[in-house]
């Protein structure tokens, strides 16, 4: 059966006006979560479902959700809480996905505040049956300003595994464009295309590259991804707790970045691409997952011992990813 026919069959049960769910995983950030929910309440296209995924032991967040819902009775039939008992971003996202029944599932972080037209703009891109996912910009706030700059390329992925992000910067021209990768803080998909959910083999660190893996999966099924620079969430990076630290230079985070990038890149590579992906990963690398060339360039700004440390943990992660895939030996979704 061809990819195109399979894709069409997956969409055969959807209505002409798809329903939309928003999934917000959260942990120990009740103040930020309330701001996120306030943003969702102000949408020009209201969500059909809002699913907040909470750890069972996180009593402060549970109370904050209950108080917010009491103050917004109009959400009584639309906002639900899903509970998980173990840590990790991917289990939380999968719990939200399992609780959702809408055609489109949108994801954002609990420290993001969607602008009023966010959902309306994302939903509009699903008018075309060939579109499998849509996302937008996350404007990152630092102190009294924002991280900004102009770029002409956002969310691209090279055949040999090189990812280009830039989702937080200003795209020129500011108009929707096709892309390969959406950012986890601002992404949506047709629910049916996510199958059994996000791949829990990525459950390391902050589950880096889970957005890249999901996007490559949707692309492999024959669907397009759209980046809309005007579908905006304001991102106020908050403290992380547990192993999902923002200290990206921590050994387990360097290992996780290398592992998860290599796992996703190799998993979705064609057989003839795999040697090039491995060469790129180990020989070149990128900013958070050094290869040899990236490490040599970093010597201009970092002490040799620090560069060697980063390269070592990155290589360890990438090697572990190869072993993960060899053990997995299962069909790629």
Q: Is the peptide bond before 173 cis (omega within 30 degrees of 0)?
A: yes
**Which pLDDT score is estimated for 6?**
56
Kindly report, residue by residue over 36-75, the tens digit of the pLDDT: 999 999 999 999 999 999 999 999 999 999 999 999 999 9
Q: Which domain holds residue 323?
A: 251-328
Section 292-313 average pLDDT: 96
| Together in a domain, 175 and 261 | no
Kindly report, residue by residue over 113-161, the tens digit of the pLDDT: 999 999 999 999 999 999 999 999 999 999 889 999 999 999 999 999 9
Q: Report yes or no on whether pTM surpasses 0.75.
A: yes
Section 188-217 average pLDDT: 91
Report the greatest alpha carbon distance in the chain. 58
Give the number of other CB atoms < 10 A from CB of residue 273.
Answer: 17
| Together in a domain, 163 and 220 | yes
| Together in a domain, 186 and 313 | no
**Which pLDDT score is estimated for 117?**
98
> Would you say 277 and 318 are in contact if contact means Cβ atoms under 8 Å apart?
no
Look at residues 189, 210, 235 and tell me which one is the last residue of a structural domain: 235
> Would you say 178 and 224 are in contact if contact means Cβ atoms under 8 Å apart?
yes
Q: Copy the structure tokens of residue 248.
A: 């990206």
In-domain check, residue 241: no
CATH number for 204: 3.90.550.10
Section 215-244 average pLDDT: 90
| Together in a domain, 45 and 146 | yes
> Would you say 31 and 68 are in contact if contact means Cβ atoms under 8 Å apart?
no
**Which pLDDT score is estimated for 34?**
98
As a whole number of angstroms, the distance between CA 292 and CA 51 comes to 43
List the one residue out of 320, 323, 305 whose CA is nearest residue 258.
320
Q: Copy the structure tokens of residue 117.
A: 């037209």
| Together in a domain, 52 and 127 | yes
Q: State the total domains in the chain.
A: 2
Q: How confident is the model at residue 241 (pLDDT cuts 50, 70, 90)?
A: low
| Together in a domain, 220 and 303 | no
Kindly report, residue by residue over 252-283, the tens digit of the pLDDT: 889 999 999 999 999 999 999 999 999 999 99
| Together in a domain, 291 and 207 | no
Percent of the chain whose pLDDT exceeds 70 = 91
């Amino acid at each position: 059966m061809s990819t195109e026919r399979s894709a069409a069959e997956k969409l055969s049960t959807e209505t002409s006006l798809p329903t939309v769910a928003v999934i917000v995983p959260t942990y120990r950030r009740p103040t930020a979560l309330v701001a996120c929910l306030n943003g969702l309440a102000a949408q020009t296209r209201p969500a059909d479902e809002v699913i907040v995924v909470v750890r069972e032991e996180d009593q402060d967040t549970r109370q904050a959700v209950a108080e917010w819902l009491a103050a917004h009775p109009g959400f009584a039939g639309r906002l639900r809480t899903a509970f998980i008992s173990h840590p990790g971003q991917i289990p939380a996202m999968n719990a939200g996905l399992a609780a959702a029944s809408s055609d489109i599932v949108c994801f954002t972080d609990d420290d993001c505040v969607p602008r009023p037209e966010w959902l309306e703009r994302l939903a509009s891109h699903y008018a075309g049956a060939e579109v499998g996912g849509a996302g937008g910009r996350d404007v990152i706030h630092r102190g009294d300003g924002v991280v900004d700059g102009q770029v002409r390329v956002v969310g691209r992925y090279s055949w040999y595994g090189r990812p280009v992000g830039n989702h937080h910067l200003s795209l020129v021209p500011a108009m929707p464009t096709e892309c390969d990768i959406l950012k986890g803080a601002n992404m949506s998909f047709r629910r049916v295309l996510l199958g059994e959910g996000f791949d829990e083999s990525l459950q390391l660190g902050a589950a880096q590259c889970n957005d890249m893996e999901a996007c490559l999966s949707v692309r492999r099924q024959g669907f397009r991804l759209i980046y809309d620079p005007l579908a905006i969430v304001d991102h106020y990076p908050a403290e992380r707790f547990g192993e999902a630290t923002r200290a990206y230079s921590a050994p387990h985070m360097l290992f996780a970045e290398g592992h998860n990038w290599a796992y996703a890149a190799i998993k979705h590579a064609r057989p003839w691409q795999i040697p090039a992906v491995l060469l790129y990963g180990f020989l070149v690398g990128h900013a958070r997952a050094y290869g040899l060339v990236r490490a040599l360039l970093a010597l201009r700004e970092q002490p040799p011992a620090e560069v060697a440390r980063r390269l070592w943990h990155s290589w360890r992660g990438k090697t572990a990813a190869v072993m993960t895939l060899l053990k997995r030996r299962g069909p790629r979704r």
